Structure 1
Amino acid sequence: MEWAEIKTSKNIEDLLESFGAFHDSCLKELYMSTESYVDENLSMGMSAELDTSVRMLFQRQARNPSAIELLFEGVTQFHIVPSPINHDSIIYDAKLILHNGLFYWTDDCEWEPENNTDGSNRWISAKRLKWRDASSWMGKQNRYGVISSD
């Protein structure tokens, strides 16, 4: 699975067309990481750059592709809200835009970066964005790790 970097509005349009604007899809999983760490000697290492990356796996009820993975690098903001009890998690249409040098993805096609105060939307912004076909990752199985309550 090769990553394709999104650089232009045309790249965004092509991705949205390829994945049906996320219609009838769901966010299956996400994984966030930073460059911060504590080593064996308990010394802390940190980056002075935007070091947060987020991988998001989406699945949809259509083929070619039926699943994609987005990789946001240099994340500047990240807002995820779980679906409330007795509500589905279906994404009907999503928005992906390049605005003021940042890539934004949201599950609300009416959402705008300047009006991001509504706490009910899932959205993310980052300096760089890549995507790849993950159609072999369909189903219930977790791909980013097993969640255990142990």
Structure 2
Amino acid sequence: MKYKRRLHKDFIEVNNTETLNVMLNDCANFFDSIIVDIQYTSGSSRSNDNRLYPFDDLAELQIVIESQIENGMKIILLFENITQFNLVPSDLYYDSLLGKPFVYIDSEILFSFIYPREQINEDTSKNNTWVKSRFLKYKIIKH
């Protein structure tokens, strides 16, 4: 099975160090930002004649982030063909403000909200939201 990629014309692709730095700059390194929504689209489906297509050939994850920077902006991260996703909601007694994430571009993309790549393991994953994918795109909506 081969992954599909949908055309998202209004998103900017992040595929090397230069475009990564542009994204981080455009997003103010995610300073004073919070995750407000996460949506996963698998690609699996059921047809009108009740046949199942049980293959996650899209595996898209969209994370919506709101920021106070520049009088407020919405940042939409679109991870295509995700291979792993670890979600850890904030504890009720702690804030969910984001800091500068750790982002790596190699044969796949790793986007970690708290820990650098070399510190991600079973223990640190209990406190860290991170995504591995083959592609990353983003879009900024300024208020």
Query: Do the two structures share a fold, i.e. TM-score over 0.5?
Result: yes
Check 1:113–1:33 CA distance in 2 against 1; reply closer, same or farther (3 A cut): farther
Q: Is residue 31–residue 69 contact of structure 2 (8 Å, CA) maintained in 1? A: no
Specify which of 52, 62, 69 is matched with residue 59 of structure 2: 52
Once the two structures are superposed, residues 51-89 of structure 1 have per-residue CA deviations (whole angstroms, 9 ceiling, x without a partner) of 210111111111187221111000000011111121111
Amino acid at match of 2:141: A
Specify which of 99, 111, 116 is matched with residue 111 of structure 1: 116
Residue 32 of structure 1 and its aligned partner are, at CA, apart by 0.5
Q: Is residue 27 from structure 1 mapped to residue 31 from structure 2 by the alignment?
A: no
For residue 56 of structure 1, give the secondary structure of its aligned residue in structure 2. Answer: strand
Gaps in structure 2 of 5+ consecutive residues: 1-8
Q: Is residue 83 from structure 1 mapped to residue 120 from structure 2 by the alignment?
A: no
- Which residue of structure 1 aligns with residue 48 of structure 2? 40
Q: Percent identity over the alignment? A: 20
TM-score, reference length from structure 2: 0.83
Q: Considering only aligned residues, what root-mean-square deviation do their CA atoms show, in Å?
A: 2.0
- Which residue of structure 2 aligns with residue 12 of structure 1? 20
Runs of 4+ off more than 4 Å: none
Task: For 1:64 and 1:15, locate their aligned partners in 2 and report how far apart those are by CA, in whole Å.
Answer: 18
